[in-house]
Structure 1
């Protein structure tokens, strides 16, 4: 058992229980919290990673945080927003634990009540997630018991330390005899007490770290990577067309035409990537349909597959942002599945529901208008990566992901926009999100500082399901100059463009705009990403040497 805080008294005393300095009490609180979290992570390896208090509370934060806060997180941290949230949650927990330790040194029951409150929050957060069960409460409860015992062990012992510099003496305080010099605040009367206490804290922190890492490792061992690796995808009955020669200009700094899986953006609400076993996976197509359909993963793989190039974009993508990628998708046409289910009159919305309860609402008409909307099982020639929706996800060209790209999908429910709002709609986003015509300058960027003379200006433009007809560039608000478009597979993907600029020394401003196949040119009006996607011309200011 860890050494108690010097100056502590036994559990059950009604007055202040410790006469130690605040920094040691705070350290005791942090060590107790670490013991609680480390234990909880180990238990969560058995009950499921989403039952971890950090993950459950983080998920609650994601669901309840104001939209400006979420947009700020994505804008600042991009695809690392989830890591930033978990780290931030851990730091806040550390500060809360330090405060509890300081309060517990004055009255132990206050510290124990704080641990109980955090356990209640973790339990409530875990039990309110989709598909939760009673076992999901165990990590928070067991962790709280261990944390409470650790806090008691650190604080309720009979050793001695300095008095609180900010606390008046009590009847229990050990007074320094008049014949002995006052050691002064921050100095130990008993050096052995300090050593035993710090050794105990270090031991608890070390064991907690090992427990947390072990819990995460065990949770990973329970994942579905092995099941994914064992899958052999069927050959498509309709293969994707080959990428035409010259589609990738191979200009330094320019995004490649095909986005590799490891570099494809990921924006979703799942703090822990769902691990869905393809053997037990089922898809239900139900709701306002004449013929409900249930499919297993084997059923889906047995159906005729098509392969298509489709560029996906996030509605949170700022003008000039990189939350966009192009990949080759393999899947079953959603149109065929919906036709089999026979939507009833008025069923104008298809709600995709993820295994973690997230929902998106897609117009039924869009999924049946002939575009290559897929229930996808493959990405760039391999089974879907787990982080990108394995075993099955939706891919719909021409719509932002928040209304179409449901990952880890388990349901397609036919309903109406009047009857149901998907996840992001009550949070201030538009119910329908067609992709807007956009363009981006990838090179040069301000940090490049190109030399005067010929400079290749290049980037990408996109208007999925409409296609790009023209891209124009201008310098210092001068006349628009038409750029050269590279070949592309189809209207459902982005296109690379380039323009040769005779750069002169000094500071310059470059702007780009695109026109889609309908004749619509990007608006110069600047609009935030909410509620239905950003608008404006991408502008780059740089210095030519």
Structure 2
């Protein structure tokens, strides 16, 4: 028994010693292999498109597979950085797997290469899982995995090579050459291994960087966007009323500047849509299917219209709301030209990246200003906001009304098709709820005791705002002073004079829409059709 215990202990010590001795080189081999696989995949994406790069393909599939509550958590906690967090997590996970694969490969090369092959298979599957995928989309992941597998085999054989002692006898009269002996002589030593490792790391960096730069340059449409000239609209929006924006420091701009306009979508990389190649199809339950080029869309009568757009993921008092002056062609006119068949009650907009958004047909035809927007705040649509064309229908949250990078409109039924977010549990239709927000003072601000001015915004898109009330510390509601209204499709700004004693105070706000409906106090989550509740801030008067 003592001898058996000693044998087990010796074996365990040898395994531990082997693991420590090979952990660092194994980790290096794994990371170099993974880096080269990703780099080659990035370079191959130059020919197949930016969304086929392995990490992007896997990230896009991960977004689709992520449970809805986790998506809401990401948007709530990371905002527009949620995609950066996702990519960071993907690369970190890949790094951990790569380290493990490299260490294992020093003991069992086949298993290590198998893990590299699995990486390629996952990337290829992710690329094919996209709604707009093509067969060639698998190549960046497969080529990357092939390059990684070769790199791993060469690095492992170089590291494992042990030159024979001059006095050691030959194991057989005519030995077959080992895989290590097939390496160049300079690689059959530790110095050669270091040269290979440094070269592999350099190749990974170069292929990754060159591939990313080449992809960005080849597919970037910023230059073509800058050359787009938006024709003067046939119907111009009235000038903003003089009193539409109270002069209060910290109050949101009435018209949200393009760089500050919120962005919430599932696109891990921004779709780069060439306006010269862009077309829009109108099909499905129509009498006359249509197809328009960008030039033909610009040649139609254009309408200029102010609209507040908000996201269903916006928490009470949240930032995912903004107002812009849009220019676009009438959506209703285009649908009437196509001839809507009886029974069609849903208009499905499809993005070039496969996103689908379903809008009630009746809301497009009831007189509201639904647009195929081509301009935002006096310039062609920013790429992040749907260039060259997006859909806008006032009165609904963006996930049922505002398809970006629009390429297809299908007339169908709600009974026959569920759009992307509906498949994930959101409501089929989601009218914007009456909402209000305190912009000034900010949460936890310290203000002088006495008279202060509170200010903020309220919106009930397509219904309009008739009143805003503010109270402090649960006291009586005070009617706020409303700024001039623009249109019922835009938010309305407000101010309220309050007198505060020294100490801690809680300010609350509620709005009443033009139909007389008062914003509810009842708290509801953003899922499945938008948050409710009163916005409040806690401040200190000194």
TM over 0.5: yes
For residues 303-340 of structure 1, give each alpha carbon's deviation from its aligned partner in whole angstroms, at most 9, with x where no partner exists: 10010001100000000100111101000111101111
CA contact (8 A) 1:450 1:543 kept: yes
CA contact (8 A) 1:17 1:105 kept: no
**What residue ranges of structure 2 are gaps of 5+ in the alignment?**
1-16, 163-187
CA contact (8 A) 1:446 1:541 kept: yes
- Give me the whole-angstrom Cα distance separating, in 2, the residues matched to 1:157 and 1:292: 63
CA contact (8 A) 1:17 1:108 kept: no
Match of 1:397 among 370, 394, 397: 394
Correspondence list, 1:332-481, <5 A: 332-481=329-478
- Give me the whole-angstrom Cα distance separating, in 1, the residues matched to 2:19 and 2:375: 61
Task: Decide which structure has greater helix share.
Answer: 2
- Give me the whole-angstrom Cα distance separating, in 2, the residues matched to 1:194 and 1:253: 63
Q: SS state of the match for residue 32, structure 2? A: helix
Q: SS state of the match for residue 102, structure 2? A: helix
1:112 aligns with 2:113: yes
CA contact (8 A) 1:351 1:412 kept: yes
Correspondence list, 1:260-279, <5 A: 260-279=257-276
CA contact (8 A) 2:281 2:292 kept: yes
Match of 1:218 in 2: 214
1:530 aligns with 2:531: no
**What residue ranges of structure 1 are gaps of 5+ in the alignment?**
1-15, 162-191
Match of 1:495 in 2: 492
1:70 aligns with 2:71: yes
Normalising by structure 2, we get a TM-score of: 0.89
Match of 1:184 in 2: none
Q: SS state of the match for residue 68, structure 1? A: helix
CA contact (8 A) 2:444 2:538 kept: no
Match of 1:24 in 2: 25
Match of 1:541 in 2: 538
Give the paired residue count.
Answer: 500
- Give me the whole-angstrom Cα distance separating, in 2, the residues matched to 1:35 and 1:411: 38
Classify 1:210/1:448 alpha carbon distance in 2 versus 1 (closer, same or farther; 3 Å). Answer: farther
Match of 2:480 among 483, 502, 523: 483
Structure 1 residue 21: Cα displacement: 2.9
Normalising by structure 1, we get a TM-score of: 0.88
Match of 2:147 in 1: 146
Structure 1 residue 275: Cα displacement: 1.2
Q: SS state of the match for residue 34, structure 2? A: helix
Residue range with higher mean Cα deviation, 47-56 or 502-511 = 502-511
For residues 3-35 of structure 1, give each alpha carbon's deviation from its aligned partner in whole angstroms, at most 9, with x where no partner exists: xxxxxxxxxxxxx99883323312321121011
For residues 269-328 of structure 1, give each alpha carbon's deviation from its aligned partner in whole angstroms, at most 9, with x where no partner exists: 111111111111111111111121111111111110010001100000000100111101
Q: SS state of the match for residue 447, structure 2? A: coil
For residues 24-80 of structure 1, give each alpha carbon's deviation from its aligned partner in whole angstroms, at most 9, with x where no partner exists: 312321121011111111111221001011111111011111111101110011112
- Give me the whole-angstrom Cα distance separating, in 2, the residues matched to 1:537 and 1:160: 71
- Give me the whole-angstrom Cα distance separating, in 1, the residues matched to 2:77 and 2:200: 35
Structure 1 residue 240: Cα displacement: 1.2
CA contact (8 A) 1:18 1:155 kept: no
Structure 1 residue 92: Cα displacement: 1.1
Residue range with higher mean Cα deviation, 218-227 or 342-351 = 218-227
Structure 1 residue 500: Cα displacement: 1.6
Classify 1:202/1:257 alpha carbon distance in 2 versus 1 (closer, same or farther; 3 Å). Answer: farther
CA contact (8 A) 2:158 2:190 kept: no
- Give me the whole-angstrom Cα distance separating, in 1, the residues matched to 2:411 and 2:362: 12
